[in-house]
Amino acid sequence: MSKGSPGPTPGFLVWRLANKWRVAVDRAVAPLGLTHAQYSLVASLHGMQRAGERPSQRRLADHTGLEALYVSKLARALESAGLIERTRDPRDPRAVQLALTEQGQAVTRQAIAVVQKLLQQWLEPLGGLDAPRTLAFTDELTTLLDAPLAPSVPNDESRQGTTP
């Protein structure tokens, strides 16, 4: 928290909220053999497949906001568990396409139902999933997610006077 503000900063609150949600989802999907990160991957893959897409690992990384290397690691673990299949893209031999297996689809549908109930419970203080406050909150979060954010570089005295 900053010295000048009487309460927590927005950044601190977003961090706390994200951690609270991650822990809650971890606990909710653990009985299905998933972690929050794995759930994010299979649920996103489920939605993309329903839309007719068979995404590459890179496309899924871009969609979820996860690092491509982390998506690759998660995909290998999910493949070992029999939930997804990884195949080479016939149009690009360097790319790996992902798809849910039948077992993966079943587990994902169960996980989505569990997380939807959790989400409804979590959003109850705002009036529930379809409440005006929740819709406004979602709009605000979307605005923040769409805003470019580049890390600032500390003033490095050894580079002063030089052109990068």
Looking at per-residue confidence, does 95 or 162 come out higher?
A: 95
Average pLDDT for residues 11-18, to the nearest whole number? 94
Residue 129 half-sphere exposure, CB side, CA atoms within 13 Å?
7
Predicted confidence band of residue 156 (pLDDT cuts 50, 70, 90): low
DSSP H/E element including 58: helix 57-64
State whether the Cα torsion 35-36-37-43 is positive or negative.
positive
Q: Is the confidence at residue 159, as pLDDT, over 60?
A: no
> If 0-12 CB within 10 Å is exposed, 13-18 middle and 19+ buried, where does residue 49 land?
middle
Which pTM value belongs to this model?
0.83
- CA 26 from chain centre, in angstroms, equals 13
Predicted confidence band of residue 160 (pLDDT cuts 50, 70, 90): low
Predicted confidence band of residue 4 (pLDDT cuts 50, 70, 90): low
List pLDDT tens digits, range 25-74. 999 999 999 999 999 999 999 999 999 999 999 999 999 999 999 999 99
List pLDDT tens digits, range 81-133. 999 999 998 888 888 999 999 999 999 999 999 999 999 999 999 999 999 99
